[in-house]
Amino acid sequence: MKRKRVSLYIGISIIASLLAMMVVSLFYTPYPVTEMNRDERFAPPSANHPLGTDNFGRDVLSRIMKGSQTAFFVGLIAVSVGGLFGVLVGAIAGYFGGMLDEFIMRLMDAMMAFPGILFALMFVSIFGVGIRNTIIAIGIMSIPSFARITRSGFIQHKEFEYVKNARVKGVSNFRIMFSHILPNVLSPIIVAASMGFSSAVLSEAALSYLGLGVQPPDPSWGRMLNESQVFITLSPWYTIAPGIFITLIVLGFNFLGDGIADLQDRQQ
């Protein structure tokens, strides 16, 4: 019994510490994130610079902290966009069924079949490089997974008698969908949101690594990975630091999602 909660606790502690770091970075970083120092390039980790410095002598810890803002911001907005549209579309498909369902879900299949990074590349090259378009692209990419999960919940629940009961009372379809059914199918959607968060962070890192996401001099973990790889033999810690944090946040949200799913399984 107790063992199962481990992933929930690990997830919560990782995400909570990263969130705390993000909040601190809003007010304080050890050094200004864009301050360069020619005398201290490629400094190894020390008391002054716990994670060393980069090729411009900037403090890596400060940039990691600042980069967490990007990660959380991108994750939050992308998941909100994807979740909002995904749930809406999935609810309509599942509740009304028939040709509409068929049409929507084939559209979702087409979106899923299209490689995410390729779509983001295309989107960004059409609408321009930058954090805003990156977020939109990532958000759109995550719509199908939300739509599928929501749809399956709605298909199951629309046959339940409480839904028939609401119809018999004259409740409108819109209200049945979002006021009656949605609260009952919310839990798998929350798990999907947690998983979606981690993949959004990963996508942002990948796009920034390719130079399509966050633009310099703003720090982003993916971007730092990109900038550091040239110097990987010279100062490996510069590469390792953002790598570890990307891994941590992805792991954290996956653990969290798993933990929530376990919790629900046991409640049922």
Partner 1 sequence: MSGIILEVRDLVKHYPLRRTKLLESPGRVRALNGVSFAIARGESFGLVGESGCGKTTAGHTIIKLLEPTDGKIFFEGKDITTIKGERLKDLRRKIQIIFQDTAGSLNPRKTVKWILSEPLRAQGVRNRLEIERTIRESLELVDLDESFLDRYPHELSGGQKQRIGILGALILEPEFIIADEPVSALDVSIQAQILNLMKNLQKRLSLTYLFISHDLGVVHFFCDRIAVMYLGEIVEMAEATELYVNPCHPYTQSLLSAIPGENAASQRIILQGDAPDPTNPPQGCPFHPRCFKRMEICTHTRPRSVEVSKGHSVGCHLYP
* Contacts to partner 1 by CB under 8 A: 160-162, 164-172, 175, 180, 183-184
CB of 95 to partner 1, least distance (A): 15
In contact, 141 and 77? CB cutoff 8 Å: no
Instruction: Locate all alpha helices (DSSP H) within the chain, ordered by sequence.
Output: 6-27, 60-96, 98-113, 116-127, 131-141, 143-157, 161-168, 173-175, 182-209, 221-228, 236-267
In contact, 266 and 8? CB cutoff 8 Å: no
CB of 172 to partner 1, least distance (A): 7
CB of 101 to partner 1, least distance (A): 14
Which residues lie below 8 Å from residue 23, measured CB to CB, with a gap of 6+?
none
Instruction: Between 9 and 160, name the residue whose CB sits nearer to partner 1.
Output: 160
Instruction: Between 165 and 215, name the residue whose CB sits nearer to partner 1.
Output: 165
Give the H or E element holding residue 37.
none
CB of 162 to partner 1, least distance (A): 4
Three-class secondary structure of residue 57 per DSSP: coil
Tokens coding 32: 């200004």
Instruction: Between 41 and 167, name the residue whose CB sits nearer to partner 1.
Output: 167
CB of 86 to partner 1, least distance (A): 21
Instruction: Between 173 and 247, name the residue whose CB sits nearer to partner 1.
Output: 173
Of 223, 259, 225, the residue nearest 241 (C-alpha): 225
- Residues 226, 227, 233, 236, Cα dihedral to 10°: -80
Instruction: Between 46 and 172, name the residue whose CB sits nearer to partner 1.
Output: 172
